[in-house]
Structure 1
Amino acid sequence: MTETIDVQTRGRARWIILNRPARLNAINSTCIRECRAALAGAAADAAIRAIVFAGAGDRAFTAGADISELAGFGPAEVLAYNRGWLDLFREIELCRKPVIAAVHGWATGGGTELSLACDFVLCADDARFGLAEINIGVIPGAGAAVRLTRWLGRLRAKEILMLGRTMSGAEAVSLHLANRCVAADRLQAEVQALADELAEKAPLALGAAKASVNVGAEAGFDVALEYELQEFVRLFTSHDQKEGMRAFLEKRKPDYQGI
């Protein structure tokens, strides 16, 4: 049993639903631990082809960290606490399965940071992103400054971090922080449709594509090229590569096994 999340399997997608709606799904230490365990379980389950993070209720994806938990922390406590956030986000990025953020309502602070770690971000037209930590005397502590700077550049990253404004789902799409913005009553269906589409792809190739993009975004050019080549070559040891090319030649739908 979990205390702060609801874990559901829908088709071949595992939904990890932040389930503290009375607190706008604010994330505390227990939630971090439960999310990491649920993510690890989904990553290890061969039947699962995509992972979704979502929020319960109609008000929030997650409003971020539970301030009531960390307001009294000193440096030592907050260091240990934030290591959990860092670990969760890196585990999302390193997971060889596609991870989708289904964002509605409030998604400020840690909610925006969580979305930044995901591979796809679909948001509702009522979504509100933002990194407002500056307004309570701190900064994001789980990598947002680094990710935003590398993806958007210094000027845009400083604008988001130092002004602490909220932005709509449409604005997030325009900044390339979300893939698309849909009507709130369509969000779950759109996310499930994306998860189902991803589930039809070759799982090992999806993992290779994800890893190649993530490494390519950060590594030196020649290192990144070599990494992508090695991911490509490794796929030629798999059943799915043979099945995919055979199905193409035989003009039929491939049956990918993830092996």
Structure 2
Amino acid sequence: IYGGERVYAAGADIKEMSDMGYTEMLSHGHLLQEFTREIAKIGKPTVSAITGVALGGGLELALSTDLRFCADNAKLGQPEILLGIIPGAGGTQRLARLVGPAKAKDLIYTGRFVSASEALEIGLVDQVHAADEVYAKAVEWAKSFVGAASVALRVAKDVIDRGLEVDLQTGLEIERAGFTGLFATEDQKNGMTSFMENGPGKAQFTGK
């Protein structure tokens, strides 16, 4: 996901939201979470190429992707507290799961912006690149999965994400179901046959 050279995403339209009351937000607020939830559910590897700023809902959008590549001059933050509200599109939950509750509380309580270097240090982003390179680096990472075992990738993502929501034993059961289920796919047969005949990394996967 890429917003352009100057900005990744600056968040919601504050002017529009300022006119909304409790009843209106009660009926519309779920759409904010549904949007980021659908991004998170994409059954392929996803990456955000963050340039400029990723603030509020913009950062929540980035949090819904698998990885975040960040320009070295970017600023990130959850400044909703400065408006008298809290993040409402998954920020309180995904941020805490990513960087830990203490760091998430610091960012959400203060509403402060963090630099690319601090974001990398606390695990908020995964890579930092020059601003004119970050998009290309994200595309390069995404392209590395062309021709990969797409069914296994989808299962891996689902198992990891679902496992984060449950206790360890339940997570292991989810993993076992995903692992064994892949033995009913053509990709598993192709991958293992190719490994035995040609060595690793040469399988031709069909996505079936």
Instruction: Give the structure-1-normalised TM-score.
Output: 0.76
Q: Is the 8 A contact 2:99 2:124 kept in 1?
A: no
Match of 2:204 in 1: 255
1:71-86 matched pairs, under 5 angstroms: 71-86=18-33
Match of 1:174 in 2: 121
Between the aligned partners of 2:28 and 2:170, the Cα distance in structure 1 is: 33
Match of 1:230 in 2: 177
Between the aligned partners of 1:237 and 1:214, the Cα distance in structure 2 is: 22
Match of 1:65 in 2: 12
**Displacement of 1:142:** 1.4
Match of 2:2 in 1: 54
Between the aligned partners of 1:81 and 1:123, the Cα distance in structure 2 is: 31
Match of 1:28 in 2: none
**Cα root mean square deviation, aligned:** 1.4
Q: Secondary structure at the match of 1:102?
A: strand
**Displacement of 1:143:** 1.8
1:1-259 matched pairs, under 5 angstroms: 53-56=1-4, 58-251=5-198, 253-259=202-208
Q: Which consecutive residues of structure 2, in runs of 5 or more, have no partner in the other structure?
A: none
Between the aligned partners of 1:161 and 1:235, the Cα distance in structure 2 is: 40
Between the aligned partners of 1:208 and 1:145, the Cα distance in structure 2 is: 26
**Displacement of 1:109:** 0.6
Between the aligned partners of 1:114 and 1:80, the Cα distance in structure 2 is: 21
Between the aligned partners of 1:94 and 1:204, the Cα distance in structure 2 is: 14
**Displacement of 1:220:** 1.0
Match of 1:25 in 2: none
Relative contact order higher in (CA < 8 Å, ≥ 6 apart): 2
Instruction: Give the structure-2-normalised TM-score.
Output: 0.93
Q: Which consecutive residues of structure 1, in runs of 5 or more, have no partner in the other structure?
A: 1-52
Between the aligned partners of 2:55 and 2:113, the Cα distance in structure 1 is: 7
